[in-house]
Amino acid sequence: MNAVPYREAARQLLRETLLDAARSLLTERPWSQITMADIASRAGVSRQTLYNELGSREQFAQTFVLREAQRFIEAVQQAIDAHLDDPTAALAAALELFLDTAGRDPLIGMLLDDDGTGGMLPLITTRSRPVLDWAGQQIAEAIARGWPAVDAEDATLLAQTLVRLAISYLTVPIGPPRQATEEAVRLLGPFIEKAVMEPQAQAR
């Protein structure tokens, strides 16, 4: 395995330190009350270093949300990989895992309790397009890896729909994760059968 160049490794460490500083501050007060200077101070760097590395406050917030989302996406990808013999079960497990894990995350809980004044909730609701597009792409790639016979457009449509359903169920819960998952699978089951299972059976 090739070693990561020092400059690249140092930059990645700096980014993670800055993002970790923001997460730490968000456990104390809402995003609207946190300045870029606060983040730089908590990370032990200058404010200019923060701006140079992660851009404006809006860009920083977007990067932060994507970094946090990565943890959930990785768990979802693992759930899919664990049920490759049953696409319906795989996607059900992935959705339930996401809802359960995100629902128990303290930071996600703070965002969802935001009354609109906290400042970061729009990044997963009204201004969530970049996050939704990125997450949809990640899930579409996981579907394509797991079931190579699936049409690319169908994989993308299924992934995007799952992501939007997941965010909707998370932000406006209708019940426990298992209930939401069962309803989603009931709705998407016929599409999964046609788009995923039939091509797999034909490819055998």
pLDDT tens string 149-165: 999 999 999 999 999 99
Query: What pLDDT does residue 8 have?
Result: 87
Domain hosting residue 11, numbered range: 1-55
| 118 and 154 assigned to the same domain | yes
Assessment of whether the complete model's pTM goes beyond 0.85: no
Angle between helices 47-54 and 36-43 (to 10 degrees): 100
| 131 and 153 assigned to the same domain | yes
Are 75 and 82 in contact by the 8 Å Cβ rule? The answer is no
Are 163 and 136 in contact by the 8 Å Cβ rule? The answer is yes
CATH of the domain at 106: 1.10.357
Helices (H) and strands (E) in the chain, counts: 10, 0
| 9 and 30 assigned to the same domain | yes
| 15 and 104 assigned to the same domain | no
Are 51 and 148 in contact by the 8 Å Cβ rule? The answer is no
| 153 and 167 assigned to the same domain | yes
| 17 and 50 assigned to the same domain | yes
